[in-house]
């Protein structure tokens, strides 16, 4: 059915400064009307009293592991997770096998995702050939093949000369560079450097490893006037560095991962390798600084860093791969901050949808204005649920939140006017 009528939903859309109970009519893939007491004879009706609708989420940081590591995730399972979490646009990271350093791999991803059709998947191209940090990829060819930005995520680009050139070239092809800021000469271990790493006698990853590269990238963006996006910001000093440069008009944007907003380094004592992630979970002071930075605009958006790994890759802490799955738990985590009155619902939508859409320069998402493409999510902010064998749609289950009570559940995700996820 091509028409959908959503009745009496609480519509939250910061792009039109709207937070009100409304009916929404969807027709031919677009928002046909927003109003009170809408009626349409042929429409599929969703009674949504007590539910919230907003522009669906845009994730600038996901690992879909396809091609090459399909035992952890593939495009289809990753996209199923995404729509179950309220996402309809994903920027997928290039640390696949082979990496996204050629137009062929970028095109493989775009075509396969289009065939699956559940949501939009856009590739991020590798910054350097083979993600080895030595030689830049062909930005022009990769952009032409559909890459939206460039990063070696999973690894930092530490060579400042190459980074300078990358920022210039990305600007020339009309896109931007993203960086995983952790200097790998300093970040050699497994968890945050601090009391817990000393107590356990475990090699660590200090905040300074992040801070030096965040500062370096901000300085280069400042001098070159190019756009740099800092991935998964996690340290309080990095927040201050970004704030300093933003105040001076530098084109720097940054994201934070939901796990860094609710978990701290002591989670390692409870969840062991499931709490191992790069950059690592840090101190309570860092967590507080990240939340503050959401409010004053220093941090632009939420990105999940959904990073699936198989059970056998998450054994002993010192041997385990870093990363957590996160597409299905981002909304409940963010709603926890809303319930604690740390951010408003409208701010949450801005951070998860409008802002990341703007950073990628996408129209067609991040707004539910009349005439816009119908990409939206309908959720119950109060519904309690567990991420477990029954509800998890990822091929992997590496998260400390496994089997822990979550509050806030997606009921419908609508992509281009089609219901692509439903749980009622
Ligand atoms: O913890 C992480 N895992 N951080 C990254 O940047 C990469 C990711 C992965 O690919 O597993």
C-alpha–C-alpha distance, residues 71 and 396, integer Å: 8
What DSSP element (H or E) covers 240?
A: helix 236-247
Spacing of C-alpha 123 from chain mean position: 13
Nearest to 43 by CA among 422, 424, 419: 419
Q: Are residues 294 and 157 in the same domain?
A: yes
Nearest to 183 by CA among 130, 133, 257: 133
Domain endpoint, select from 360, 379, 400? 360
**110 in Cβ contact with 142 (< 8 Å):** no
User: Is the CB–ligand 1 distance for residue 61 below 6 Å?
Assistant: no
Q: Are residues 13 and 148 in the same domain?
A: no
Other Cβ atoms less than 10 A from the Cβ of 284: the count is: 10
324 Cα to the center of ligand 1, angstroms: 8
Q: Are residues 320 and 389 in the same domain?
A: no
Helix H segments across 256-415?
258-262, 267-271, 284-295, 330-339, 345-349, 355-360
Domain endpoint, select from 312, 338, 360? 360
**356 in Cβ contact with 60 (< 8 Å):** yes
With 0-12 / 13-18 / 19 or more C-beta atoms within 10 angstroms meaning exposed / middle / buried, residue 55 is buried
Q: Which atom, in ligand 1's list, is nearest to the CA of 276?
A: 1
Proportion of the chain above pLDDT 70, given as a percent: 100
User: Is the CB–ligand 1 distance for residue 306 below 6 Å?
Assistant: no
409 Cα to the center of ligand 1, angstroms: 26
306 Cα to the center of ligand 1, angstroms: 8
Q: Are residues 240 and 91 in the same domain?
A: yes
Residue linked to tokens 């998890």 = 392
Domain residues for 62?
A: 56-360
User: Is the CB–ligand 1 distance for residue 72 below 6 Å?
Assistant: no
pLDDT in tens, 136-191: 999 999 999 999 999 999 999 999 999 999 999 999 999 999 999 999 999 999 99
CATH number of 97's domain: 3.20.20.140
Q: Are residues 166 and 307 in the same domain?
A: yes
322 Cα to the center of ligand 1, angstroms: 6
With 0-12 / 13-18 / 19 or more C-beta atoms within 10 angstroms meaning exposed / middle / buried, residue 77 is buried
User: Is the CB–ligand 1 distance for residue 153 below 6 Å?
Assistant: yes
- Specify the pLDDT at position 186: 98
DSSP per-residue codes, 187-213: --SSEESSHHHHHHT--EE-HHHHHHH
62 Cα to the center of ligand 1, angstroms: 9
C-alpha–C-alpha distance, residues 100 and 123, integer Å: 8
Within-domain flag for 366: no
Q: Are residues 380 and 356 in the same domain?
A: no
pLDDT in tens, 208-258: 999 999 999 999 999 999 999 999 999 999 999 999 999 999 999 999 999
C-alpha–C-alpha distance, residues 25 and 321, integer Å: 45
Q: Which atom, in ligand 1's list, is nearest to the CA of 321?
A: 11
Annotation marks residue 305 as catalytic: yes
Q: Are residues 43 and 93 in the same domain?
A: no
User: Is the CB–ligand 1 distance for residue 281 below 6 Å?
Assistant: no
Residue with CA closest to ligand 1 atom 7? 154
C-alpha–C-alpha distance, residues 21 and 15, integer Å: 16
303 Cα to the center of ligand 1, angstroms: 13
Within-domain flag for 304: yes
pLDDT at 1 > cutoff 80: no
Give the C-alpha distances (Å, rounded to integers) separating 35 from 1, 263, 289.
21, 40, 39
**Choice among 115, 305, 363, 423 that is catalytic:** 305
Within-domain flag for 40: yes
Spacing of C-alpha 38 from chain mean position: 34
- Specify the pLDDT at position 364: 83
**241 in Cβ contact with 213 (< 8 Å):** no
Q: Are residues 262 and 308 in the same domain?
A: yes
Q: Chain-wide mean pLDDT for the chain? A: 98
Q: Are residues 316 and 354 in the same domain?
A: yes
Q: Are residues 49 and 191 in the same domain?
A: no
Residue linked to tokens 């560079």 = 177
CATH number of 11's domain: 2.30.40.10
User: Is the CB–ligand 1 distance for residue 277 below 6 Å?
Assistant: yes
Residue with CA closest to ligand 1 atom 2? 323
Q: Are residues 131 and 257 in the same domain?
A: yes
Within-domain flag for 302: yes
List 4's β-bridge partners, or say none.
Answer: 26, 44
In total, how many domains does the chain have? 2
C-alpha–C-alpha distance, residues 172 and 136, integer Å: 14
pLDDT grade, residue 28 (50/70/90)?
very high
- Specify the pLDDT at position 352: 98
User: Is the CB–ligand 1 distance for residue 63 below 6 Å?
Assistant: yes
- When pLDDT is averaged across residues 283-299 and rounded to a whole number, the result is 98
Domain endpoint, select from 338, 360, 382? 360
pLDDT in tens, 59-97: 999 999 999 999 999 999 999 999 999 999 999 999 999
pTM assigned to the model: 0.98
380 Cα to the center of ligand 1, angstroms: 30
Residue with CA closest to ligand 1 atom 6? 154
- Specify the pLDDT at position 242: 98
Q: In the structure encoding, which two tokens stand for residue 82, read together?
A: 């995404």
pLDDT in tens, 385-415: 999 999 999 999 999 999 999 999 999 999 9
Q: Please state whether 191 falls in left (phi above 0), alpha (psi between -120 and 50) or beta.
A: beta
C-alpha–C-alpha distance, residues 361 and 292, integer Å: 26
Q: In the structure encoding, which two tokens stand for residue 65, read together?
A: 């592991």
User: Is the CB–ligand 1 distance for residue 314 below 6 Å?
Assistant: no
Q: Are residues 278 and 399 in the same domain?
A: no
pLDDT in tens, 326-355: 999 999 999 999 999 999 999 999 999 999
59, 62, 63: which to mutate for ligand 1, most atoms within 8 A of CB?
Answer: 63
Within-domain flag for 365: no
Q: Which atom, in ligand 1's list, is nearest to the CA of 95?
A: 10
User: Is the CB–ligand 1 distance for residue 180 below 6 Å?
Assistant: yes
Within-domain flag for 311: yes
154 Cα to the center of ligand 1, angstroms: 5
């Amino acid at each position: 059915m091509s028409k959908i009528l959503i009745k009496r939903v609480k519509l939250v859309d910061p792009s039109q400064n709207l937070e009100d109970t409304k009916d929404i009519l969807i027709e031919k893939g677009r928002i046909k009307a927003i109003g009170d007491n809408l009626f349409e004879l042929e429409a599929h009706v969703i009674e949504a009293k007590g539910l919230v609708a907003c522009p669906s989420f845009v994730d600038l940081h996901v690992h879909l592991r396809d091609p090459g590591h399909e035992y952890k995730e593939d495009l289809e399972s990753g996209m199923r997770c995404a729509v179950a979490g309220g996402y309809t646009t994903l920027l997928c990271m290039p640390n696949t096998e082979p990496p996204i350093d050629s137009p062929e791999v970028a095109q493989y991803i775009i075509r396969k995702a289009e065939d699956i059709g559940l949501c939009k998947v856009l590739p991020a191209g590798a910054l350097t050939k083979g993600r080895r940090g030595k030689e830049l990829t062909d930005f022009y060819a990769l952009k032409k093949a559909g890459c939206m930005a460039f990063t070696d995520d999973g690894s930092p680009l530490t060579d400042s000369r190459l980074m300078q050139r990358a920022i210039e070239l990305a600007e020339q092809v009309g896109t931007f560079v993203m960086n995983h800021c952790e200097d790998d000469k300093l970040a050699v271990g497994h968890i945050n450097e601090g009391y817990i790493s000393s107590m356990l006698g475990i090699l660590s990853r200090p905040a300074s490893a992040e801070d030096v590269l965040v500062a370096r990238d901000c300085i280069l963006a400042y001098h070159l006037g190019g756009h740099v996006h800092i991935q998964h910001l996690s340290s309080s000093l990095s927040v201050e560095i970004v704030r300093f440069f933003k105040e001076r008009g530098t084109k720097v944007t940054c994201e934070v991962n939901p796990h860094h907003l609710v978990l701290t380094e002591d989670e390692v004592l409870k969840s062991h390798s499931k709490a191992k992630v790069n950059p690592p979970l840090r101190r309570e002071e860092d967590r507080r600084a990240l939340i503050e930075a959401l409010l004053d605009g220093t941090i632009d958006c939420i990105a999940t860093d959904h990073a699936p790994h198989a059970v056998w890759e998450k054994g002993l802490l010192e041997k385990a791969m870093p990363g957590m799955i996160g597409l299905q738990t981002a909304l409940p985590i963010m709603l926890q901050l809303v319930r604690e009155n740390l951010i408003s619902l409208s701010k949450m939508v801005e951070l998860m949808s409008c802002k990341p859409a703007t950073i990628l320069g996408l129209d067609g998402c991040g707004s539910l204005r009349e005439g816009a493409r119908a990409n939206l999510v309908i959720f119950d902010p109060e519904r309690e649920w567990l991420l477990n064998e029954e509800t998890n749609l990822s091929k992997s289950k590496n998260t400390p939140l496994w089997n822990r009570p979550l509050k806030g559940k997606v009921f419908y995700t609508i992509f281009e006017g089609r219901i692509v996820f439903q749980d009622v």
